[in-house]
Each structure stands twice: as C-alpha cells, then as structure tokens.
Structure 1
Amino acid sequence: MGTIQHTDIGFVTVLVQDDIGGLQVLHQNHWVDVPPTPASLVVNIGDFLQLLSNDKYISVEHRAISNKVGSRLSVASFFGESPWQSSKLYGPITELLSEENPPKYRSTTVKDHTSYLHNRGVDGTSALSRYKI
C-alpha cells in the first residue's frame, strides 16, 4: 500500500523502517528514495513544527510507494497535542522572530488546524498556505 504526496500535519512523525523501503521525499522537484535501514527511525518534520519555527524547520513532502518485493511493515508515530482538548493559540515562537525574520504565519489552534484538514482531506498539498501572512 502507498500514499499520495503529502506533508504531515503535526509536530513530528517518527517512522520505523524495515528492509523493504518505499518512502520517497521530494527534493528539488524530484522524488528521491529513502534507503531502507532495518530497525532505524526516520523523523519527519510536520507542518505544525514548521509554523512554530517560522520556517526554520521545513515540513518534508513525501509519499510511500507500493512495491512488488514483498510485504512491508510500516509503523508511524505522530506527536502533537490532542486537537480536541486545547484551544491554546500557537504561532511562530517569539524568540525566533526579529525585524529581519518577521512572522510568516498567523497563530491558530490545533483544533482549528485539524478540523480544517479533516474537512479538506489529503490532496497532496500542505495546509500551511492557509496560515501564511
């Protein structure tokens, strides 16, 4: 099973790799295979970390491709705040901002961000454009 091109919506995603592979990242408009390293972890930056870091860390566009080599075990752990329990506003971290580096995103709540994504669905694009200033 594969997935379409997307970015992860949360803070970070940790993927446990096996020996089959299938993860690809978009680099300079080309899909690049992530070589499988059994029992290793791949950490993807999510959209919410990109927003909080004001683009210091960039959410990676990626996809998983199907293969005919054999069965693949995929384990993904998503880290972020529960969207249903918080109304706290999140925006670019103040200490990262300056006159030379003004905020690039407006603040939002995890609940609003998650609701927007669930209503929009996965369409291969990042939802961060919704928060761009």
Structure 2
Amino acid sequence: MPPVTGALIVNVGAFLQARSNDAFKSVDHRVVATNTGPRVAVACFFGPSGPVVSGRVYGLIVKDASPLRYRSFTVAEFLGAYSFDGKPALDCFRL
C-alpha cells in the first residue's frame, strides 16, 4: 500500500493483540526513510501501573466465534516473557 500524505499510523502492541484474540495485530516497527520532506515519529507507551500490576489477570476483551488463541496472564507474566533472543513474547501465551 502506498503512503498516504498526512496519515496517522498507530501500531498496537502485543498486549492488545493477545487481549483482542488477534483482531488487532502487533507489528514490528520498520521504517524506510527518504530524503524528501520531514518525517516525525513519536513513541507513546501506555500500560497499567500500581496495584493493577500486582496480580490482576487479563484475558479476552473481544467476543466472537473464533477459538481462543491466547491464555490469560498477569502484567508481570507478560513483561517477563520479553527477551532479546528474537522469540516473540506472544508465543509464551499462545494456546
């Protein structure tokens, strides 16, 4: 798909992919820079904090007829699944 001038692109994360049962897909961040015109990128990270992180279990937020693709997890489990070995964190929760 060709770029759209003035478009806003939102890349959702793996947390939303798991909770939406793949309705929203996480993507690897890749950029092809050109020498024409300015390019602005802003990273914003949102997540639970405080008592929510302590032990709340997160599961599916989208109800559809699809089979469940991920098990429920806590934020601590989810953050602990990230590593630098190239293995996607979502693989740890896939059913």
Who is 2:72 aligned against? 107
- The Cα of 1:68 is off from its aligned counterpart by 7.0
1:4-60 deviations in Å (ceiling 9; x for gaps): xxxxxxxxxxxxxxxxxxxxxxxxxxxx7x73745x532112111111111111112
- The Cα of 1:103 is off from its aligned counterpart by 1.4
1:76 aligned residue (43, 62, 70): 43
1:87-110 deviations in Å (ceiling 9; x for gaps): 2111222x515xx42311111111
Does 2:92 align with 1:130?
Answer: yes
Supply the AA of the counterpart residue of 2:81: Y
| Percent identity over paired residues | 37
Which of structures 1 and 2 has the larger relative contact order (alpha carbons within 8 angstroms, sep 6+)?
1
Task: Tell me the SS of whatever aligns to 1:102.
Answer: coil
- The Cα of 1:77 is off from its aligned counterpart by 0.8
State the distance in 2 between where 1:122 and 1:74 align: 26
- Residues 50 and 59 in structure 1, CA contact (< 8 A), matched pair in contact too: yes
Who is 1:90 aligned against? 58
State the distance in 2 between where 1:41 and 1:78 align: 16
Who is 1:55 aligned against? 22
- Which is richer in strand? 1
Distance 1:126 1:115, change over 3 A: same
State the distance in 2 between where 1:122 and 1:75 align: 26
Stretches of 4+ aligned residues off by more than 6 angstroms: none
Distance 1:49 1:88, change over 3 A: same
Gaps of 5+ in 1: 1-31
State the distance in 2 between where 1:82 and 1:130 align: 22
